[in-house]
Chain A
Amino acid sequence: MSDRPKPEFTCPTPLPSKGTILLGHGSGGKLTADLIREIFLPAFQNPILARLDDQAIMSVDGVRLAFTTDSFVVQPLFFPGGDIGSLAVHGTINDLAMGGAQPLCLSAAFIIEEGLPMETLSQVVNSLHHAAESAGVQVVTGDTKVVEKGSGDGLFINTSGLGVVPEGLCLSADQARPGDGVILSGSIGEHGIAVMAVREGLEFESSVASDSAALHGLVAAMVAATPTGIRCMRDPTRGGVSSALNEIAAQSRVGMLLDEKTILVREEVKGACELLGLDPLYVANEGKLVAIVAPEVIEDVLAAMRSHPLGERADLIGTVTEAHPGVVAMRTLIGTTRIVDMLAGDQLPRIC
């Protein structure tokens, strides 16, 4: 058996990104990475940003603060398992939590398209409030802008979050080491499929709800189990588990070998993916995390995760390797190995 993994199959290969911004630039895949590398990093270059983590961590008078911001443009605004309001809270808290931080407070800015029903806005705002309250976080500042009809898609929300990182905890995507375990907190792809299920043109009856959830409680349990054994964490949102792991592999200059059999996919997600020709590894999650942990604490971390409601189905899905740095490979269901590459843009339903 060859030890060189096979490249990811994409068909057709897309045109390069020149001239204009495409939707794919927001997909969390290669196009997004290009944009960050070519436009944003050169403009803002500084050591905190250069870490390219989901949150910035800086020391202020001895306190290690985590700071993050995230914008939400989901369509439709309401989907099974959540809405743009709850998603904005969960997404921002999760970006803080992936740095090991416990959230302190949030901001919320609303960009509203002229003509949006007041009832819709108040439903979203109530949901946002409820999600923040359940997570034990307050929205302490905000902003409102209204744009002309046609300049926005109903409602966009931006949320920023501030959190505190416990003493001694230092998580970063460049810290994965060969021999570490790759842990996934549960089944994948539910958010992406739940949203797709209610979109025009791809309609199917499905009981799958978005997994949207705030993960700081789960993270606290993991950190309590091992204050030093966790190297880094990511919430695999846009671009799915594949993009999250590829980012870590690239920044830590290590390889990874996953085991397809251990990656949990619910029957609803599986059915939708088979039908549309999608790979669940690239479908978005909003309530899952991947963690790279030192080999000696794998069992402790798994035990802590499994005793938390959001990590009941947590499992070890692979290991970090010295071989093929920057490349995530996977042992397939039939025992062969292939590359799990980052996609260039969004996954599209395909017929062939």
Chain B
Amino acid sequence: MKYLDEYRDERIARALVAELHRRVTRPWVLMEICGGQTHTLMRYGIDELVPRQITLVHGPGCPVCVTPLEIIDKAIRIASKPEVIFVSYGDMLRVPGSESDLFRVKAAGGDVRVVYTPVEALKLARANPQRQVVFFGIGFETTAPANAMAVWQACREGLRNFSMLVSHVLVPPAIRLLLGSPHNRVQGFIAPGHVCTVMGYREYEALAREFHVPFVVGGFEPIDLLEAISMLVAQLEEGRVEVENQYARSVNREGNRPAQAIMQEVFEVCDRKWRGVGLIAQSGLRLRPEFAAYDAEKIFDVAEFSAEEPAECISAQVLQGLKKPVDCPAFGRRCKPESPLGAPMVSSEGACAAYYQYRRVATVS
């Protein structure tokens, strides 16, 4: 496939790795903030290729994994209602709530459906006027315009049986939190290419200036990530602090204006809890009051429902590099990938799950 295959080429990867080895003279700690990039790093074993001086730290995971416990619990309550068709992106079905997940709701008779696009949720609402169709609107900035468009379209058509359970999160406030920690170890960031495709990278320029940390907007294929790492290392070695754009075939500085416009029309910025991290100010999106008729939290009266994350989880400290997963008394005992207490164990590439899984592999081999 064009624009994919050529970015998975071994020869080019080797050339970039050789270049990276030439560039690096000192240890550097880099973080990719986006779960999609973590996925590529793991799938292609890129951490084996980079020089030993480079430490790749994985960010808080994906928006699926940081979706707060209480939102999952709300989703489970709504999806359990007989009049509801609960529609979701596939990866949300597995995320554990306090006691259950959406798979179990489906097993117990709930009408839970997986779609590829919110457009399909609208189709379901049109085709089932006697049912309430609720779409689980989660994601980073990349997904927000598509979800916003679905609400906008429903409003325009006057669809009365469509609503959205919204739990969008924004990337820059999370980076700000990490960088603001007195114990921050991360010296350079790979900014998320598809988030920046929508938002541009002005926000990251502000972060770079404020915290004196370089960024490279990176793509998602192995060649993209190797090049982004190489560009970051060049900045660090040369003492530059800039926002550079490796993923220029999709990203420009201003981002996608029509997509930003629909997002702003439908959503407003709000405080948001991140699973395993806690409340981050101004880090989420919710429906604007004008779209309250499409807000599933209001329609199904779950807005006040809250769930506390287990107090013994130290994931906020793990994500900031203050503690290692093995320092946690719950690690491997109360907290395992099958029964996670916090986000870094929910996502298998979260720091805690990675520790847990590497341990398993070490035992097997």
Contact = CB atoms under 8 A, between A and B. Distances in A.
A–B: direct contact at CB < 8 Å: yes
Interface of A: 1-2, 4-16, 20-24, 200-202, 267, 270-271, 274-277, 323-327, 332-339, 345, 348-352
Interface string B307-339: 000000000000000000000000000000111
B44 A333 contact: yes
Contacts of B108: 20
A35 to B, nearest CB: 14
A246 B94 CA distance: 23
Interface string B209-250: 000000000000010000000000000000000000000000
Which 5 A-B residue pairs are closest in the complex by CB-CB distance?
A336-B45, A348-B90, A352-B62, A16-B338, A349-B90
Given A9-B43, A12-B95, A336 B120 contact: no
A324 B365 contact: yes
A200 B365 CA distance: 42
B64 A352 contact: yes
25 contacts: A5-B45, A6-B48, A7-B42, A7-B361, A9-B39, A11-B39, A11-B347, A12-B64, A13-B338, A13-B345, A13-B353, A15-B101, A16-B339, A24-B103, A200-B113, A200-B120, A202-B116, A275-B116, A327-B364, A336-B49, A337-B45, A348-B114, A349-B114, A349-B116, A351-B143
Interface residues of B, number: 65
Contacts of A323: 365
Contacts of B36: 352
Contact of A202 (B115, B143, B345): B115
A332 B338 contact: no
Contacts of A336: 44-46, 48-49
Contacts of B62: 11, 352
Contacts of A275: 116
Interface of B: 1, 4, 8-10, 13-14, 34-36, 38-39, 42-49, 61-65, 89-91, 93-96, 100-101, 103-104, 106-108, 113-116, 120, 139, 143, 222, 337-340, 345-349, 353-354, 357-358, 360-362, 364-365
A337 B42 CA distance: 10
A275 B360 CA distance: 31
A9 B364 contact: no
Contact of A335 (B14, B34, B47): B14
Contacts of B349: 9, 11
B365 A352 contact: no
A326 B361 CA distance: 10
Contacts of A276: 90, 116
A9 B348 contact: yes
B116 A201 contact: yes
A10 B106 CA distance: 21
Given A7-B42, A8-B348, A349-B89, 10 more contacts: A1-B49, A7-B361, A14-B101, A327-B365, A334-B8, A335-B10, A336-B48, A338-B43, A345-B94, A349-B91
Contacts of B361: 4-5, 7, 327, 339
Contact of B48 (A1, A7, A15, A23): A1
Contacts, number: 171
Contacts of B89: 349-351
A6 B42 contact: yes
B107 A338 contact: no
A262 to B, nearest CB: 13
Main secondary structure of the interface of B (DSSP, over half): helix
Contacts of A16: 338-339
Given A7-B358, A13-B338, A20 B48 contact: no
A154 B338 CA distance: 34
A339 B365 CA distance: 11
A23 B90 contact: no
A52 B38 CA distance: 36
A13 B14 contact: no
Contacts of B107: 20-23
B340 to A, nearest CB: 7
Contact of B94 (A334, A348, A352): A348
A186 B302 CA distance: 51
A2 B362 CA distance: 12
A15 B338 contact: yes
A346 B357 CA distance: 20
A41 B34 CA distance: 43
Contacts of A267: 1
Contacts of B365: 4-5, 323-324, 327
A240 B245 CA distance: 38
Contact of B348 (A13, A325, A333, A350): A13
A22 B4 contact: no
A282 to B, nearest CB: 13
B10 A333 contact: yes
A4 B45 CA distance: 10
Given A9-B39, A12-B347, A324 B364 contact: yes
Nearest to B343: A12
A8 B45 CA distance: 10
Contact of B91 (A2, A4, A22, A348): A348
Contact of A11 (B35, B44, B46, B48): B35
B158 to A, nearest CB: 23
Nearest to A351: B89
A43 B104 CA distance: 26
A326 B96 CA distance: 29
A334 B226 CA distance: 11
Contacts of B347: 11-13
Nearest to B95: A12
Residue from the set A13, A277, A324, A338 with the largest chain B CB neighbour count within 10 Å: A13
Contact of A201 (B9, B38, B114): B114
Nearest to B226: A334
A350 B115 CA distance: 10
B214 to A, nearest CB: 25
B91 A7 contact: no
Nearest to A332: B44
Contact of A23 (B9, B95, B106, B222): B106
B155 to A, nearest CB: 22
